[in-house]
Amino acid sequence: MAKLHISFENGNPEQVVEFDPSQAPFHHDGEPGSILDILLGHGVELEHACGGNCACTTCHVIVTQGMAHLTENEEEEDDMLDKAPGLVSTSRLGCQAVMAEGEVKIRIPRHTINQQV
Amino acid sequence: MPSSPTFTATIEKIIERTPDTRSFFLRVANGRKLSFVPGQFLSFLLPAGGETLTRAYTIASLPGEEDCFEICLNQVDGGPGSSYLFSRKEADVLCFTGPWGNFVLDQPTDAEYIFIADRVGVVPFRPMIARLLTAGGHHTARLLYAAPQAGDLLYTDEWQRWEGQYAYFSFRPLIAECEPEEYSIEKGLLPYVEQHFVKGVRQYSRRFYICGIGRPVLLLRDLLRGAGYERQAVKYEKW
Ligand SMILES: Cc1cc2nc3c(=O)[nH]c(=O)nc-3n(C[C@H](O)[C@H](O)[C@H](O)COP(=O)(O)OP(=O)(O)OC[C@H]3O[C@@H](n4cnc5c(N)ncnc54)[C@H](O)[C@@H]3O)c2cc1C
Ligand code: FES
């Protein structure tokens, strides 16, 4: 079993999801086995305005532990992350970062919004 | 459910643009206006198959058309989101969040703008090009628009009218002349881009905007960035 710890900058209580990576996909949005897929499949909300297609930054998460357990960023994710508010060196897009093992801790930023108007 | 505000809109009119592509004209409830930046999309919450799907559709309206706005989409074989929308009728109600997205024009510069559309991926370019042409400053802009058949092209009258009206805008349809199942960007679009913007290129000040479906968008991105255009000068949206 793999473990994903989620904390929220908006003060919501922390959550832990334990899951069997071989069961992915858990939902129908984002890359199968991605942080977004795992969260939605276990009842934890994460904004995903473009439907998990790497075309917005609303699924931005900050990885605080276990980056090595996630697939590496592709150019497409980096291009999109450039536009994320509150970007840090361990930022990832929840719909693109796939977790296949181990224990990962993430923080969901308060501002995931990239509405421009 | 998303944490951002959700709006409802009534389908005021549906028009068939090609046999598998429709425009939906939507009016937001309570007389709200939809204020958007050309190129942005709305995120629709579609109750299809017992679940709520999230599907993005770009705002096809021209800037300023804020009362009754348009989305334009084609039916994807076996696709639950597009099939749900194609089963809607006038007066039905849809829920959405947004507008969202960063695939928008940069501050206009003197650079030449090249818009590269693969099939229905032309939708964001309608408001973007309209904004560019009417912004003043006479920005040179070209639209390269690829499709399997001439009958698949969307908004052709408008592109042609703009071409006649603005000397600095040109429209280049690239028709593969094949069935949709046999279509690929190798049949026209990719060789055209290679020949005109890659081979022997000496000026790198152009700005590219690419929009289309799946991997071909990344192929075009890699071709242009690989040819030496700056990363920021090659923007794209992959559906
Ligand atoms: C930012 C953004 C804006 C978008 N704007 C539009 C729009 O204005 N008009 C529009 O038609 N679609 C648009 N799309 C695509 C749309 O969100 C859906 O992905 C599409 O309608 C398919 O959903 P589905 O549930 O029917 O099929 P799914 O089962 O979800 O099918 C997904 C597959 O279809 C491919 N696909 C996506 N769009 C198309 C398409 N138009 N034609 C053929 N294959 C497609 C995807 O690459 C993927 O392989 C947009 C997507 C994004 C990310
Ligand atoms: S949901 Fe839009 S980029 Fe992840």
Domain assignment present for B107: no
Domains of chain A with CATH codes: 2-108 (3.10.20.30)
Mean pLDDT of B95-115: 91
For the segment B121-148, the average pLDDT, to the nearest whole number, is: 93
For chain A of 117 residues, list the mean pLDDT of each consecutive stretch of 10. Answer: 96 96 93 97 95 96 98 97 93 97 96 51
**B145 and B49 within one domain:** no
Question: For the domain that residue B21 is a member of, what is the CATH number?
Answer: 2.40.30.10
Written as six digits, the tokens of B237 are: 């949206």
Q: Which amino acid is at B38?
A: P
Could you give the 3-state DSSP secondary structure of residue A79? helix
Confidence check: pLDDT of B1 > 80: no
CB < 8 Å to B63, chain A: none
Instruction: Give the residue numbers in A contacting B (CB under 8 Å), as ranges.
Output: 28-29, 45, 47-58, 75-76, 79-80, 83, 113-117
CA distance A116 to chain B (A): 7
Q: Is the Cβ–Cβ distance between A116 and B59 less than 8 Å? A: no
How far is A69 from B86, CA to CA, in rounded Å? 41
Beta-bridge partners for B42:
B57
Identity at B125, one-letter amino acid code: F
* B124 neighbourhood in chain A, CB within 8 Å: none
Regarding beta strands B234-238 and B207-212, do their DSSP bridges make them parallel or antiparallel, or are they unpaired?
Answer: parallel
Beta-strand relationship, A103-108 and B41-48: unpaired
Residue ID of nearest Cα to ligand 1 atom 7: B57
CB of B155 sitting under 6 A from ligand 1: no
Q: Atom of ligand 2 at shortest distance to CA of A60?
A: 4
Q: Is residue B222 part of a domain?
A: yes
Taking an 8 Å cut-off on Cβ atoms, the answer to whether B1 and A45 are in contact is yes
Residues B150, B87 share a domain: no
Distance (Å) from CA B77 to ligand 1 centroid: 11
Q: Looking at the structure, do residues B140 and B232 belong to the same domain, yes or no?
A: yes
* Number of domains chain B contains: 2
Mapped onto helix, strand or coil, the DSSP state of residue A63 is strand
> pLDDT value at position A112?
60
Q: Is B36 helix (H, G, I), strand (E, B) or coil?
A: coil
Instruction: For residue range B76-90, list pLDDT tens digits in order.
Output: 999 999 999 999 999
Question: CA B220 → CA A104, B88, B150, B212, B235, distances in Å?
Answer: 35, 35, 22, 10, 10
H-run or E-run covering B215? helix B215-226
- ipTM at complex level: 0.91
pLDDT at B2: 66
Does the pLDDT value for residue B126 go beyond 50? yes
Mean pLDDT of the B166-189 span: 95
In the predicted model, is pLDDT for residue B19 greater than 70?
A: yes
B101/A55 Cβ within 8 A: yes
Q: What is the pLDDT of residue A71?
A: 98
Residue nearest to atom 23 of ligand 1 (CA): B81
**Ligand 1 centroid to residue B126 C-alpha, Å:** 18
Where do we find the tokens 């040109």?
A: B170
**What pLDDT was estimated at residue B138?**
79
Range of the domain at B227: 113-238
The better pLDDT of the pair A77, B138 is held by A77
pLDDT in tens, B220-235: 999 999 999 999 999 9
Confidence at residue B3, expressed as pLDDT on a 0 to 100 scale: 74
pLDDT score, position A117: 38
Check whether residue B93 and residue B134 sit in a common domain: no
Single out the residue in B56, B73, B100 at which a domain terminates: B100
| In a domain? residue B2 | no
For residue A45, give every residue at least 6 positions away whose Cβ sits within 8 Å of its Cβ, in sequence order, or none: A39, B1, B2, B3
Last residue of one domain, picked from the residues B65, B100, B135: B100
Boundary (domain end) residue, out of B75, B100, B125: B100
CATH code where residue B220 lies: 3.40.50.80
Does some domain include residue B108? Answer: no
Predicted pLDDT at B67: 85
Sorting pLDDT into bands at 50, 70 and 90, what band is B164?
A: very high
Which pTM value belongs to this model? Answer: 0.96
Do residues B139 and B228 share a domain? Answer: yes
